Structure 1
Amino acid sequence: MLPGEPKFRRRKADRPGEIVQAAMAVFAERGFAAARLDEIAARAGVSKGALYLYFETKEDLFRAVVGQVVAPNLAQVKAMAAAHPGPFPDLVRGLAQHVTHLVQTTPVGGVVKMVIGEARNFPELARVWHDDLVSQALGAVAGAIQAAQARGEVKPGDPRSFALQLISPLLVGVIWRETFVPVGAPPFDLSALMRQHLDTLLNGMLAEDARP
Protein backbone atom coordinates (compact mmCIF):
# COMPACT_ATOMS: atom_id res chain seq x y z
CA MET A 1 0.00 0.00 0.00
CA LEU A 2 1.35 3.43 -0.92
CA PRO A 3 1.23 6.23 1.69
CA GLY A 4 -2.01 8.11 1.41
CA GLU A 5 -3.62 5.54 -0.88
CA PRO A 6 -7.41 5.82 -0.50
CA LYS A 7 -8.98 2.96 1.42
CA PHE A 8 -11.65 2.40 -1.24
CA ARG A 9 -8.95 1.56 -3.78
CA ARG A 10 -7.52 -1.11 -1.55
CA ARG A 11 -10.99 -2.47 -0.88
CA LYS A 12 -11.83 -2.60 -4.59
CA ALA A 13 -8.73 -4.65 -5.31
CA ASP A 14 -9.59 -7.02 -2.46
CA ARG A 15 -13.23 -7.50 -3.40
CA PRO A 16 -13.00 -10.52 -5.74
CA GLY A 17 -11.05 -12.52 -3.17
CA GLU A 18 -13.41 -11.53 -0.37
CA ILE A 19 -16.40 -12.53 -2.49
CA VAL A 20 -14.85 -15.93 -3.23
CA GLN A 21 -14.14 -16.56 0.45
CA ALA A 22 -17.71 -15.59 1.31
CA ALA A 23 -19.04 -17.87 -1.42
CA MET A 24 -17.04 -20.81 -0.07
CA ALA A 25 -18.49 -20.29 3.41
CA VAL A 26 -22.07 -19.97 2.14
CA PHE A 27 -21.73 -23.02 -0.15
CA ALA A 28 -20.40 -25.05 2.77
CA GLU A 29 -23.27 -23.99 5.06
CA ARG A 30 -26.23 -23.83 2.66
CA GLY A 31 -25.34 -26.05 -0.27
CA PHE A 32 -25.39 -24.91 -3.87
CA ALA A 33 -29.12 -24.80 -4.55
CA ALA A 34 -29.92 -22.88 -1.37
CA ALA A 35 -26.99 -20.46 -1.60
CA ARG A 36 -28.18 -16.96 -2.46
CA LEU A 37 -26.08 -14.36 -4.18
CA ASP A 38 -27.38 -11.60 -1.92
CA GLU A 39 -26.19 -13.53 1.16
CA ILE A 40 -22.77 -14.05 -0.43
CA ALA A 41 -22.60 -10.35 -1.24
CA ALA A 42 -23.59 -9.41 2.32
CA ARG A 43 -20.92 -11.72 3.79
CA ALA A 44 -18.32 -10.15 1.53
CA GLY A 45 -19.44 -6.65 2.51
CA VAL A 46 -20.45 -5.63 -1.01
CA SER A 47 -23.71 -4.92 -2.78
CA LYS A 48 -25.28 -7.54 -5.01
CA GLY A 49 -24.64 -5.23 -7.92
CA ALA A 50 -20.95 -5.08 -7.05
CA LEU A 51 -20.82 -8.88 -6.91
CA TYR A 52 -22.18 -9.03 -10.48
CA LEU A 53 -19.23 -6.92 -11.64
CA TYR A 54 -16.99 -9.91 -10.94
CA PHE A 55 -19.22 -13.00 -11.12
CA GLU A 56 -22.35 -13.44 -13.21
CA THR A 57 -23.62 -16.74 -11.76
CA LYS A 58 -23.24 -19.11 -8.82
CA GLU A 59 -21.47 -21.47 -11.20
CA ASP A 60 -18.83 -18.80 -11.83
CA LEU A 61 -18.43 -18.39 -8.08
CA PHE A 62 -18.02 -22.13 -7.60
CA ARG A 63 -15.32 -22.26 -10.27
CA ALA A 64 -13.57 -19.38 -8.52
CA VAL A 65 -13.72 -21.21 -5.19
CA VAL A 66 -12.11 -24.24 -6.82
CA GLY A 67 -9.53 -22.24 -8.74
CA GLN A 68 -8.57 -19.63 -6.16
CA VAL A 69 -8.99 -21.35 -2.80
CA VAL A 70 -8.70 -25.11 -3.21
CA ALA A 71 -6.46 -25.50 -6.27
CA PRO A 72 -3.47 -23.68 -4.71
CA ASN A 73 -3.44 -26.36 -2.00
CA LEU A 74 -3.53 -29.01 -4.71
CA ALA A 75 -0.52 -27.34 -6.31
CA GLN A 76 1.34 -27.74 -3.01
CA VAL A 77 0.39 -31.43 -2.89
CA LYS A 78 1.65 -31.95 -6.43
CA ALA A 79 4.88 -30.08 -5.69
CA MET A 80 5.48 -32.14 -2.55
CA ALA A 81 4.91 -35.37 -4.43
CA ALA A 82 7.17 -34.34 -7.31
CA ALA A 83 10.01 -33.08 -5.12
CA HIS A 84 10.19 -35.97 -2.65
CA PRO A 85 12.48 -38.82 -3.78
CA GLY A 86 11.81 -40.99 -0.72
CA PRO A 87 11.41 -42.60 1.68
CA PHE A 88 7.80 -43.13 0.69
CA PRO A 89 6.27 -43.21 4.22
CA ASP A 90 7.64 -39.73 4.95
CA LEU A 91 6.00 -38.36 1.80
CA VAL A 92 2.65 -39.98 2.56
CA ARG A 93 2.60 -38.72 6.13
CA GLY A 94 3.54 -35.22 4.98
CA LEU A 95 0.79 -35.18 2.37
CA ALA A 96 -1.77 -36.51 4.86
CA GLN A 97 -0.81 -33.85 7.39
CA HIS A 98 -1.14 -31.10 4.80
CA VAL A 99 -4.56 -32.22 3.53
CA THR A 100 -5.87 -32.90 7.04
CA HIS A 101 -4.86 -29.41 8.12
CA LEU A 102 -6.72 -28.00 5.11
CA VAL A 103 -10.00 -29.75 5.96
CA GLN A 104 -9.67 -28.79 9.62
CA THR A 105 -9.01 -25.09 9.06
CA THR A 106 -11.18 -24.20 6.04
CA PRO A 107 -14.80 -24.82 4.99
CA VAL A 108 -13.64 -27.19 2.23
CA GLY A 109 -15.27 -30.18 3.97
CA GLY A 110 -18.66 -28.56 3.66
CA VAL A 111 -18.03 -27.91 -0.03
CA VAL A 112 -17.06 -31.58 -0.50
CA LYS A 113 -20.37 -32.60 1.08
CA MET A 114 -22.18 -30.13 -1.19
CA VAL A 115 -20.58 -31.55 -4.33
CA ILE A 116 -21.44 -35.12 -3.32
CA GLY A 117 -24.99 -34.27 -2.29
CA GLU A 118 -25.90 -32.07 -5.25
CA ALA A 119 -23.95 -33.66 -8.09
CA ARG A 120 -27.02 -35.29 -9.62
CA ASN A 121 -28.90 -32.01 -9.91
CA PHE A 122 -25.79 -29.94 -10.70
CA PRO A 123 -23.42 -32.29 -12.54
CA GLU A 124 -21.13 -29.43 -13.50
CA LEU A 125 -20.11 -29.15 -9.82
CA ALA A 126 -18.87 -32.74 -9.84
CA ARG A 127 -17.23 -32.29 -13.23
CA VAL A 128 -15.24 -29.24 -12.15
CA TRP A 129 -14.33 -30.80 -8.79
CA HIS A 130 -13.18 -34.00 -10.46
CA ASP A 131 -11.33 -32.49 -13.41
CA ASP A 132 -9.62 -29.63 -11.60
CA LEU A 133 -8.96 -31.27 -8.23
CA VAL A 134 -9.68 -34.93 -7.60
CA SER A 135 -8.22 -36.45 -10.74
CA GLN A 136 -5.08 -34.34 -10.45
CA ALA A 137 -4.54 -35.08 -6.76
CA LEU A 138 -5.14 -38.78 -7.31
CA GLY A 139 -2.79 -38.71 -10.27
CA ALA A 140 -0.03 -36.99 -8.28
CA VAL A 141 -0.24 -39.51 -5.44
CA ALA A 142 -0.48 -42.43 -7.87
CA GLY A 143 2.62 -41.14 -9.64
CA ALA A 144 4.51 -40.99 -6.34
CA ILE A 145 3.40 -44.56 -5.57
CA GLN A 146 4.52 -45.75 -9.00
CA ALA A 147 7.93 -44.13 -8.43
CA ALA A 148 8.17 -45.81 -5.02
CA GLN A 149 7.33 -49.14 -6.64
CA ALA A 150 10.14 -48.59 -9.16
CA ARG A 151 12.52 -47.98 -6.22
CA GLY A 152 11.36 -51.20 -4.59
CA GLU A 153 9.70 -49.46 -1.62
CA VAL A 154 6.10 -50.37 -2.39
CA LYS A 155 4.67 -53.74 -3.34
CA PRO A 156 3.23 -54.35 -6.81
CA GLY A 157 -0.36 -53.21 -7.23
CA ASP A 158 -2.42 -50.63 -9.06
CA PRO A 159 -1.01 -47.20 -8.02
CA ARG A 160 -4.33 -45.44 -8.53
CA SER A 161 -6.12 -47.93 -6.26
CA PHE A 162 -3.39 -47.54 -3.64
CA ALA A 163 -3.83 -43.75 -3.84
CA LEU A 164 -7.58 -44.06 -3.26
CA GLN A 165 -6.96 -46.37 -0.31
CA LEU A 166 -4.63 -43.81 1.25
CA ILE A 167 -7.10 -40.92 1.16
CA SER A 168 -10.46 -42.68 1.65
CA PRO A 169 -10.60 -42.60 5.49
CA LEU A 170 -10.09 -38.84 5.51
CA LEU A 171 -12.94 -38.40 3.03
CA VAL A 172 -15.22 -40.62 5.14
CA GLY A 173 -14.17 -38.71 8.27
CA VAL A 174 -15.06 -35.40 6.62
CA ILE A 175 -18.45 -36.70 5.49
CA TRP A 176 -19.08 -37.99 9.04
CA ARG A 177 -18.16 -34.60 10.50
CA GLU A 178 -20.33 -32.63 8.08
CA THR A 179 -23.33 -35.00 8.18
CA PHE A 180 -23.58 -36.69 11.56
CA VAL A 181 -21.71 -34.54 14.08
CA PRO A 182 -24.27 -31.69 13.71
CA VAL A 183 -27.02 -34.11 14.84
CA GLY A 184 -25.13 -35.35 17.88
CA ALA A 185 -22.75 -38.08 16.69
CA PRO A 186 -19.35 -38.07 18.41
CA PRO A 187 -16.64 -36.62 16.16
CA PHE A 188 -13.45 -38.30 15.03
CA ASP A 189 -10.05 -36.72 15.50
CA LEU A 190 -9.09 -36.56 11.83
CA SER A 191 -5.37 -36.23 12.50
CA ALA A 192 -5.39 -39.28 14.79
CA LEU A 193 -7.57 -41.16 12.31
CA MET A 194 -5.07 -40.62 9.51
CA ARG A 195 -2.06 -41.51 11.67
CA GLN A 196 -3.66 -44.79 12.69
CA HIS A 197 -4.78 -45.51 9.14
CA LEU A 198 -1.33 -44.90 7.65
CA ASP A 199 0.35 -47.04 10.28
CA THR A 200 -1.98 -49.87 9.29
CA LEU A 201 -2.00 -49.43 5.52
CA LEU A 202 1.72 -48.84 5.09
CA ASN A 203 2.43 -52.17 6.78
CA GLY A 204 0.58 -53.79 3.89
CA MET A 205 1.89 -51.55 1.11
CA LEU A 206 5.59 -51.44 1.88
CA ALA A 207 7.95 -54.06 0.57
CA GLU A 208 9.72 -56.12 3.23
CA ASP A 209 13.05 -54.34 2.72
CA ALA A 210 11.43 -50.90 3.02
CA ARG A 211 9.70 -51.47 6.36
CA PRO A 212 11.20 -49.66 9.33
Structure 2
Amino acid sequence: MSLSKLFSPNTAVAAKRERRKEARPGELLDAALDLFVEKGFAATRAEEVAARAGVSKGTLFLYFQSKEELFKAVVRENISGRFTEWRAELESFEGSSPELLAYCMNVWWERVGMTRASGLTKLMMSEAKNFPELAAFYHQEVIMPGHDLIRSILQRGMDRGEFHAMDLDYAVYVVIAPMIFLILSRHSGGVCLNSEKDLDPQKFIAHQVETILNGISAPVATAARAGKKAAA
Protein backbone atom coordinates (compact mmCIF):
# COMPACT_ATOMS: atom_id res chain seq x y z
CA MET A 1 0.00 0.00 0.00
CA SER A 2 1.35 3.45 -0.95
CA LEU A 3 1.92 6.14 1.65
CA SER A 4 -0.69 8.35 0.01
CA LYS A 5 -3.32 5.63 0.33
CA LEU A 6 -2.23 4.77 3.88
CA PHE A 7 -2.77 8.34 5.06
CA SER A 8 -5.72 9.18 2.86
CA PRO A 9 -8.91 10.65 4.44
CA ASN A 10 -10.87 7.53 3.52
CA THR A 11 -8.39 5.31 5.35
CA ALA A 12 -8.53 7.53 8.44
CA VAL A 13 -12.34 7.44 8.44
CA ALA A 14 -12.36 3.67 8.06
CA ALA A 15 -9.92 3.29 10.96
CA LYS A 16 -12.06 5.59 13.11
CA ARG A 17 -15.17 3.58 12.30
CA GLU A 18 -13.39 0.35 13.18
CA ARG A 19 -12.31 1.76 16.55
CA ARG A 20 -15.86 2.96 17.15
CA LYS A 21 -17.21 -0.49 16.31
CA GLU A 22 -14.81 -2.12 18.75
CA ALA A 23 -15.84 0.31 21.49
CA ARG A 24 -19.59 -0.18 21.04
CA PRO A 25 -20.06 -3.22 23.31
CA GLY A 26 -18.41 -1.35 26.19
CA GLU A 27 -20.45 1.78 25.49
CA LEU A 28 -23.65 -0.24 25.44
CA LEU A 29 -22.74 -1.96 28.72
CA ASP A 30 -22.02 1.40 30.36
CA ALA A 31 -25.31 2.82 29.16
CA ALA A 32 -27.21 -0.27 30.26
CA LEU A 33 -25.63 -0.21 33.72
CA ASP A 34 -26.65 3.42 34.19
CA LEU A 35 -30.25 2.79 33.11
CA PHE A 36 -30.69 -0.50 35.00
CA VAL A 37 -29.53 1.20 38.21
CA GLU A 38 -31.61 4.34 37.59
CA LYS A 39 -34.85 2.70 36.46
CA GLY A 40 -34.67 -1.01 37.25
CA PHE A 41 -34.70 -3.91 34.82
CA ALA A 42 -38.41 -3.96 33.95
CA ALA A 43 -38.64 -0.22 33.29
CA THR A 44 -35.52 -0.02 31.13
CA ARG A 45 -36.22 -0.33 27.41
CA ALA A 46 -33.69 -1.53 24.85
CA GLU A 47 -34.17 1.56 22.70
CA GLU A 48 -33.28 3.76 25.70
CA VAL A 49 -30.01 1.90 26.16
CA ALA A 50 -29.21 2.23 22.46
CA ALA A 51 -30.04 5.93 22.45
CA ARG A 52 -27.85 6.64 25.46
CA ALA A 53 -24.99 4.75 23.81
CA GLY A 54 -25.52 6.71 20.59
CA VAL A 55 -26.52 3.77 18.40
CA SER A 56 -29.69 2.31 16.94
CA LYS A 57 -31.77 -0.38 18.63
CA GLY A 58 -30.81 -2.71 15.80
CA THR A 59 -27.13 -2.17 16.54
CA LEU A 60 -27.69 -3.09 20.18
CA PHE A 61 -29.21 -6.42 19.14
CA LEU A 62 -26.21 -7.15 16.92
CA TYR A 63 -24.18 -7.49 20.11
CA PHE A 64 -26.81 -8.70 22.62
CA GLN A 65 -29.72 -10.90 21.55
CA SER A 66 -32.14 -9.63 24.20
CA LYS A 67 -32.44 -7.28 27.16
CA GLU A 68 -31.89 -10.29 29.43
CA GLU A 69 -28.61 -11.12 27.70
CA LEU A 70 -27.60 -7.48 27.97
CA PHE A 71 -28.24 -7.54 31.72
CA LYS A 72 -26.18 -10.71 32.12
CA ALA A 73 -23.31 -9.09 30.22
CA VAL A 74 -23.50 -6.05 32.50
CA VAL A 75 -23.28 -8.28 35.60
CA ARG A 76 -20.32 -10.21 34.17
CA GLU A 77 -18.50 -7.04 33.14
CA ASN A 78 -18.88 -5.34 36.52
CA ILE A 79 -18.99 -8.12 39.11
CA SER A 80 -18.94 -11.81 38.31
CA GLY A 81 -16.20 -11.63 35.69
CA ARG A 82 -13.80 -10.33 38.34
CA PHE A 83 -14.04 -13.20 40.84
CA THR A 84 -11.06 -15.07 39.38
CA GLU A 85 -8.90 -11.98 39.85
CA TRP A 86 -10.21 -11.38 43.38
CA ARG A 87 -9.70 -14.97 44.46
CA ALA A 88 -6.11 -14.98 43.20
CA GLU A 89 -5.47 -11.72 45.06
CA LEU A 90 -6.86 -13.06 48.34
CA GLU A 91 -5.04 -16.40 48.01
CA SER A 92 -1.72 -14.56 47.73
CA PHE A 93 -2.44 -12.39 50.79
CA GLU A 94 0.39 -12.74 53.31
CA GLY A 95 -1.16 -11.18 56.40
CA SER A 96 -3.28 -12.71 59.15
CA SER A 97 -6.86 -13.87 58.59
CA PRO A 98 -8.32 -10.94 60.59
CA GLU A 99 -6.31 -8.59 58.37
CA LEU A 100 -7.50 -10.47 55.27
CA LEU A 101 -11.14 -10.16 56.33
CA ALA A 102 -10.76 -6.40 56.88
CA TYR A 103 -8.97 -6.08 53.54
CA CYS A 104 -11.69 -8.01 51.74
CA MET A 105 -14.52 -5.86 53.11
CA ASN A 106 -12.74 -2.59 52.39
CA VAL A 107 -11.70 -3.62 48.88
CA TRP A 108 -15.23 -4.78 48.10
CA TRP A 109 -16.53 -1.34 49.04
CA GLU A 110 -13.90 0.45 46.95
CA ARG A 111 -14.31 -1.73 43.85
CA VAL A 112 -18.03 -2.51 43.93
CA GLY A 113 -19.98 -0.98 46.82
CA MET A 114 -19.19 2.65 46.12
CA THR A 115 -19.52 2.23 42.35
CA ARG A 116 -22.58 2.15 40.10
CA ALA A 117 -22.33 -1.65 40.03
CA SER A 118 -23.63 -1.93 43.60
CA GLY A 119 -27.00 -0.81 42.27
CA LEU A 120 -27.31 -4.20 40.55
CA THR A 121 -27.62 -5.86 43.96
CA LYS A 122 -30.50 -3.60 44.98
CA LEU A 123 -32.11 -4.18 41.58
CA MET A 124 -32.03 -7.94 42.05
CA MET A 125 -33.40 -7.68 45.58
CA SER A 126 -36.40 -5.72 44.31
CA GLU A 127 -37.08 -7.51 41.00
CA ALA A 128 -35.88 -11.10 41.48
CA LYS A 129 -39.38 -12.55 41.97
CA ASN A 130 -40.55 -11.08 38.68
CA PHE A 131 -37.56 -12.40 36.72
CA PRO A 132 -36.70 -15.86 38.11
CA GLU A 133 -34.29 -16.67 35.26
CA LEU A 134 -32.22 -13.57 35.98
CA ALA A 135 -32.42 -14.29 39.71
CA ALA A 136 -31.04 -17.79 39.11
CA PHE A 137 -28.29 -16.34 36.92
CA TYR A 138 -27.34 -13.76 39.57
CA HIS A 139 -27.31 -16.42 42.26
CA GLN A 140 -25.03 -18.64 40.19
CA GLU A 141 -22.66 -15.91 38.99
CA VAL A 142 -22.51 -13.54 41.98
CA ILE A 143 -24.04 -14.93 45.18
CA MET A 144 -22.41 -18.36 45.16
CA PRO A 145 -18.87 -17.19 44.22
CA GLY A 146 -19.15 -14.39 46.78
CA HIS A 147 -20.15 -16.83 49.50
CA ASP A 148 -17.33 -19.19 48.52
CA LEU A 149 -14.81 -16.37 48.74
CA ILE A 150 -15.93 -15.38 52.24
CA ARG A 151 -16.06 -19.03 53.34
CA SER A 152 -12.45 -19.48 52.22
CA ILE A 153 -11.35 -16.51 54.35
CA LEU A 154 -13.18 -17.81 57.42
CA GLN A 155 -11.89 -21.35 56.83
CA ARG A 156 -8.35 -19.97 56.56
CA GLY A 157 -8.77 -18.34 59.93
CA MET A 158 -10.07 -21.54 61.51
CA ASP A 159 -7.27 -23.62 60.00
CA ARG A 160 -4.69 -21.23 61.45
CA GLY A 161 -6.31 -21.06 64.88
CA GLU A 162 -7.12 -17.36 64.39
CA PHE A 163 -10.90 -17.91 64.33
CA HIS A 164 -12.85 -20.35 66.46
CA ALA A 165 -14.90 -23.12 64.86
CA MET A 166 -18.14 -21.89 63.29
CA ASP A 167 -20.94 -22.95 60.97
CA LEU A 168 -19.76 -21.40 57.72
CA ASP A 169 -23.18 -21.71 56.09
CA TYR A 170 -24.39 -19.04 58.50
CA ALA A 171 -21.16 -17.23 59.32
CA VAL A 172 -20.86 -15.86 55.77
CA TYR A 173 -23.95 -13.74 56.43
CA VAL A 174 -22.24 -12.06 59.38
CA VAL A 175 -19.86 -10.58 56.80
CA ILE A 176 -22.40 -10.01 54.04
CA ALA A 177 -25.12 -8.33 56.12
CA PRO A 178 -23.31 -5.05 56.86
CA MET A 179 -22.25 -4.73 53.23
CA ILE A 180 -25.85 -5.16 52.07
CA PHE A 181 -26.82 -2.45 54.54
CA LEU A 182 -24.27 -0.12 52.96
CA ILE A 183 -25.70 -0.81 49.50
CA LEU A 184 -29.25 -0.13 50.67
CA SER A 185 -28.22 3.07 52.41
CA ARG A 186 -26.45 4.25 49.26
CA HIS A 187 -29.27 3.48 46.84
CA SER A 188 -32.31 4.19 49.01
CA GLY A 189 -31.81 7.85 49.76
CA GLY A 190 -30.64 7.24 53.32
CA VAL A 191 -34.01 5.80 54.38
CA CYS A 192 -32.19 3.11 56.41
CA LEU A 193 -30.23 5.69 58.42
CA ASN A 194 -30.70 7.98 61.37
CA SER A 195 -31.45 11.21 59.53
CA GLU A 196 -29.43 13.22 62.03
CA LYS A 197 -26.18 11.49 61.16
CA ASP A 198 -24.22 10.85 57.99
CA LEU A 199 -22.83 7.35 57.48
CA ASP A 200 -19.10 7.22 56.83
CA PRO A 201 -18.60 3.92 54.92
CA GLN A 202 -14.97 3.49 56.00
CA LYS A 203 -15.79 4.05 59.67
CA PHE A 204 -18.81 1.77 59.37
CA ILE A 205 -16.70 -1.04 57.87
CA ALA A 206 -13.98 -0.60 60.48
CA HIS A 207 -16.57 -0.88 63.24
CA GLN A 208 -18.19 -3.93 61.65
CA VAL A 209 -14.82 -5.64 61.22
CA GLU A 210 -13.97 -5.06 64.88
CA THR A 211 -17.37 -6.36 65.98
CA ILE A 212 -17.07 -9.45 63.78
CA LEU A 213 -13.55 -10.24 64.94
CA ASN A 214 -14.43 -9.92 68.59
CA GLY A 215 -17.12 -12.50 67.99
CA ILE A 216 -15.19 -15.04 65.92
CA SER A 217 -11.54 -14.76 66.98
CA ALA A 218 -10.09 -17.58 69.04
CA PRO A 219 -9.18 -16.51 72.63
CA VAL A 220 -5.44 -16.70 71.88
CA ALA A 221 -5.79 -14.43 68.86
CA THR A 222 -7.96 -12.00 70.84
CA ALA A 223 -5.38 -11.83 73.61
CA ALA A 224 -2.58 -11.32 71.09
CA ARG A 225 -4.41 -8.41 69.45
CA ALA A 226 -5.12 -6.88 72.86
CA GLY A 227 -1.41 -7.19 73.71
CA LYS A 228 -0.41 -5.45 70.46
CA LYS A 229 -2.80 -2.57 71.15
CA ALA A 230 -1.49 -2.19 74.68
CA ALA A 231 2.09 -2.13 73.44
CA ALA A 232 1.23 0.48 70.82
Using structure 2 for the length normalisation, give the TM-score: 0.83
Q: For residues 30-74 of structure 1, what are the alpha-carbon distances to aligned partners after superposition, in whole Å with 9 as ceiling and x for unaligned?
A: 001000111111121211111110112110011101112212333
Which amino acid letter does the alignment assign opposite residue 102 of structure 1? Answer: R
Which deviates further from its counterpart, 59-68 or 104-113? Answer: 104-113
2:113–2:183 Cα contact (<8 Å) kept? no
Note if 1:197 corresponds to 2:208.
yes
Note if 1:146 corresponds to 2:159.
no
Residue matched to 2:90: 81
1:78–1:140 Cα contact (<8 Å) kept? yes
Q: Secondary structure at the match of 1:66?
A: helix
Which amino acid letter does the alignment assign opposite residue 157 of structure 1? Answer: M
Within 5 Å, which residues of 2 pair with 1:27-42? 27-42=36-51
Distance in 1 (CA, whole Å) between partners of 2:148 and 2:191 is 33
Matched residue count:
211
Which amino acid letter does the alignment assign opposite residue 215 of structure 2? Answer: G
Which amino acid letter does the alignment assign opposite residue 67 of structure 2? Answer: K
Q: Secondary structure at the match of 1:49?
A: helix
2:184–2:192 Cα contact (<8 Å) kept? no
Match of 2:140 among 131, 143, 152: 131
Note if 1:207 corresponds to 2:218.
yes
Which amino acid letter does the alignment assign opposite residue 202 of structure 2? Answer: S
1:109–1:175 Cα contact (<8 Å) kept? no
Which deviates further from its counterpart, 96-105 or 23-32? Answer: 96-105
Aligned-pair Cα RMSD in Å: 2.3
Identity within the alignment, %? 33
Q: Secondary structure at the match of 1:75?
A: helix
Distance in 1 (CA, whole Å) between partners of 2:106 and 2:192 is 27
Residue matched to 1:14: 23
Residue matched to 1:108: 117
Note if 1:60 corresponds to 2:81.
no
Distance in 2 (CA, whole Å) between partners of 1:173 and 1:43 is 29
Which deviates further from its counterpart, 72-81 or 172-181? Answer: 72-81
Runs of 5+ unmatched residues, structure 2: 1-6, 226-232
Runs of 5+ unmatched residues, structure 1: none
Distance in 1 (CA, whole Å) between partners of 2:208 and 2:69 is 37
Q: Which segments of structure 1 move beyond 3 Å, counting only runs of 4 or more?
A: 182-187
Higher-Rg structure is 2
Distance in 1 (CA, whole Å) between partners of 2:114 and 2:151 is 26
Distance in 2 (CA, whole Å) between partners of 1:160 and 1:83 is 24
